[in-house]
Chain A
Amino acid sequence: MNITEKILARASGRSSVSPDDVIFANVDKVMIHDVSGPGVIKVFDKLKDQGIDTSKLHDSSKVWVAEDHFVPTAEKISAENIVKLSEFTKKYGIKKHFKYGMGQYGICHTLSHEEALVSPGEVYVGGDSHTNTTGGLGAFACGLGHTDVAYVLLNGEIWFKVPETFYFKLNGKLPEHVMAKDFILKIIGDIGTDGGAYNTMQFGGSGIDEMSVESRLTLTNMTTEAGAKNGIIEADEKTIEYLHQRGATNINQIKSDEDAEYAKFFEYEASEIEPIVAKPFSPDNITEVRDVSSIELDKAYIGSCTGAKYEDLLAAAKILKGKQVKIRTEVLPAAISIYKRAMQEGLLQIFIDAGAMVGPPTCGACCGAHMGVLAKDEICISTTNRNFPGRMGHIDSQTYLASPLVAAASAVTGKITDPRDLN
């Protein structure tokens, strides 16, 4: 069995599973946030009306809560949602509630690794499609809707069809000007936004071994954009070290068997990957950065669970150091722990000296919620994950998805720019 099959077999109490088996898996960790939480509360209200007992959760110690989409509260309704979320966690005794402006807080997927909330080998579900991110630590991590999450909260388990696994092998180390974001955009361009649909995308090879944990998380994060059920990378010494530093103990390491089966196999040479952007209006609409270097921009956005981890900020700062931005540029670190580190190491100073705005951790404009949404006809280069029509604001705005290096280089010139072409 491969790693996903092994995790799902263990979680369903079976000695083995195969693709297409329908199982009920015991869930180790569950996440809700300020959008899916109120959605779950609504489901609980409907269940109560149907006479279903919602007075106790299956295990509140497995649950954690983030406030990220509409915070700092955008207006009255989002403020009320945050209040509802607090009432919910109080009522059900959920201790791990990361409230914004109270200690550690940030984007849910970023907290999952920054706070070592999920361990390799676990089954983790969240009320958000980018829950896939956390598979980069070697867990089975999958996004679900409100009804399914409500079911997990009350029953501790959920059904899955065991996915087929596509294996993506990367040979060699990515060049200095190329980031994990470029590699995952290249893959999505190759297989399409439904190219991984219902399946697992597993990554391995020497290029993945070379990668930092944060870079690996960029890959699994965007498996969602290929429609995958989960993205996964086997934990190694780097993963264990990363989680130890964040307080995790008793870390399991599950590896695929030598004779594990994969439905499809893809192989890439790291030296051949170029800086990539996804043009409007789809993450699979890719091209090399140099092919679109005449495109003039209105804004650069460096934020989100995809593109505002510590390394992402470090990459952007490397470009912006001593330079001035030519277009409106917003930098929103994905968690306050990352914000703090960026502050201590002088990265925020570099951004502000360059003329950029530094904002708080939030999903913000990535999902068109607030704090930097786009006007009609505005064109933005963004380190986020989706660029469907209207994703970041007006239906006639345009988003180019790019790595933090490309977004920062473009901020300096005001045009889409390959970092190698920056003087």
Chain B
Amino acid sequence: MKGNVIKYERDNIDTDVIIPGTYLKIHDYNELSKHAMEGLDPEFHSKVNEGDFLLAGKNFGCGSSREHAPIALSTCGIKAVLAVSFARIFYRNSVDGAFLLPIEIDEKTYQTISNNDELEINIEKNEIKNISKNETYAIKPFSEIIAKIISAGGLFKYKK
């Protein structure tokens, strides 16, 4: 997986910021994607190129259970969110619905990666290559169940 980074130096990016409550009535994925990250960056959807990665700090996706959040991000083109930690419902929605990969990195990696850096992510090797900076970082490995659901392509394709 190769793409460029859109970085927000912020902890606790919550679901009200990722997709504001007024859009919860909308279930058209393309329409939702136009409002992704609207609470923080109204231009977000026009900045994203297919395959990009979003980078943020701690507790990404805290707040509500709205699946609209990973849907809006993935429909924009975001393939993975890299964060120091994730809130639980956002995390499992991303994986179970196969919308995007929630990838946990350490604080130092978060600090080191810059906006617009080009990354290559390899989840088999638990590794991120920073092509722009010629550096390599470790990913916190997925737990067994999460790895299996990801490789199946979502919860409905996962066989117990």
Contacts and interface: CB of A to CB of B under 8 A. Distances in A.
A389 B39 contact: yes
Contacts of A50: 156
A243 to B, nearest CB: 25
B20 A39 contact: no
Nearest to A35: B24
B20 A143 contact: no
State the main secondary structure of chain B at its contact with A: loop
A92 interface: no
Contact of B12 (A47, A69, A193): A193
B124 interface: no
A148 interface: yes
Contacts of A161: 143, 145
Nearest to A77: B25
B153 to A, nearest CB: 10
A253 to B, nearest CB: 28
Contacts, number: 128
Interface stretch (B61-69, B101-109, B111-119, B128-136): B61-69
A145 B93 CA distance: 6
A367 B64 contact: yes
Given A39-B67, A128-B65, A388 B16 contact: yes
Interface string B51-94: 00000001100111111100000000000000001011100110
A148 B93 contact: yes
Contacts of B65: 36, 127-129, 131, 143-145
A367 B22 CA distance: 8
10 contacts: A39-B68, A128-B65, A144-B65, A145-B67, A145-B96, A147-B93, A194-B59, A367-B64, A369-B25, A373-B22
Interface of B: 12, 14, 16-17, 20-22, 24-27, 39-40, 58-59, 62-68, 85, 87-89, 92-93, 96-97, 143-145, 154-156, 160
Given A36-B65, A388-B16, 16 more contacts: A39-B27, A47-B156, A81-B27, A145-B65, A145-B92, A148-B155, A151-B155, A194-B59, A197-B87, A367-B64, A368-B22, A369-B22, A388-B39, A390-B17, A390-B39, A391-B21
The 6 closest A-B pairs by CB, nearest first: A368-B21, A145-B93, A147-B97, A145-B67, A367-B21, A194-B59
